[in-house]
Amino acid sequence: MANINAPFGLAPVQYRDGTPWNGGGRMYAIAAADTNAIYIGDPVKATAACDSNGLLVVTLATAGATMRGVVVAVGTALQGGGLQGGPYINPADLTKTYRPSGAQSQVYYALVVDDPNVLFAIQEGTGTPGGSSSIGSKNANFVYGAPATGVYVSGVTLDTTTYNTTSTLNFRLMGAVQDYANTPFTANQRLLVSINNHDFSGGTTAI
């Protein structure tokens, strides 16, 4: 069966030791002046700034550069005060589970999986699918893509043209996702990756 072409960015699955991801993350701020749309599944990087509550500001990550983690929820502060970030949705528009593009009138907050030991599922982008000589041994970068119309999750995919041993590449390829809806070594396959070039752990050279 052909793999479905439906990018979703990066989805946390498990830790390096095999235990399931427990849903944990850390709260970060997205500056009001940031012009990027930020979706669930997007990779983000740290900036040198904090918001007025002392939360580190993040923005979209850059292919081939150090990352802080992956967004799993986005929202605005509770109206009338309260904890920043909850309930990770725009209370003025419950259809929005993402941070819109363009400068905003308020700071948004993101729950980010920033543990370097978490493994993520991600779909390969266009190009020649990775084969047995690359999956499980090489590193790779991501590439941005626009989400499909009406879909409000990340359009990020693996850049198949970057498979190499280079230590500065974003991800280490850990293997194919094991489920009935994923056929390895064919177009749009989903792979399990770890963040190789992470703020909390230096990039490593692949084999």
* Predicted pLDDT at 75: 85
* Predicted pLDDT at 135: 87
* Predicted pLDDT at 127: 87
| Closest CA relative to residue 43, chosen from 200, 177, 183, 170 | 170
Three-class secondary structure of residue 16 per DSSP? coil
Q: How far apart are CA 151 and CA 7, in angstroms?
A: 10
* Predicted pLDDT at 207: 63
| Closest CA relative to residue 182, chosen from 134, 141, 121 | 121
* Predicted pLDDT at 53: 84
Task: Sheet with 118-123: list strands edge to edge.
Answer: 11-15, 118-123, 190-195, 171-176, 139-140
- Partners of 176 in the beta sheet? 191
* Predicted pLDDT at 67: 95
Assess contact for 143 and 123: CB atoms under 8 A. Answer: no
Q: How far apart are CA 74 and CA 90, in angstroms?
A: 8
Give me the sign of the Cα torsion angle 32, 37, 41, 44: negative
* Predicted pLDDT at 151: 84
DSSP string across 156-182: -EE-GGG-B--TTSSEEEEEE--STT-
- Taking CA atoms, 7 is separated from 29, 69, 124, 190, in Å, by 25, 18, 8, 9
Give me the sign of the Cα torsion angle 74, 150, 7, 64: negative
* Predicted pLDDT at 95: 73
10-residue stretch averages of pLDDT, the chain, 207 residues long: 93 96 93 96 96 92 96 77 60 78 91 96 94 90 90 94 95 95 96 95 75
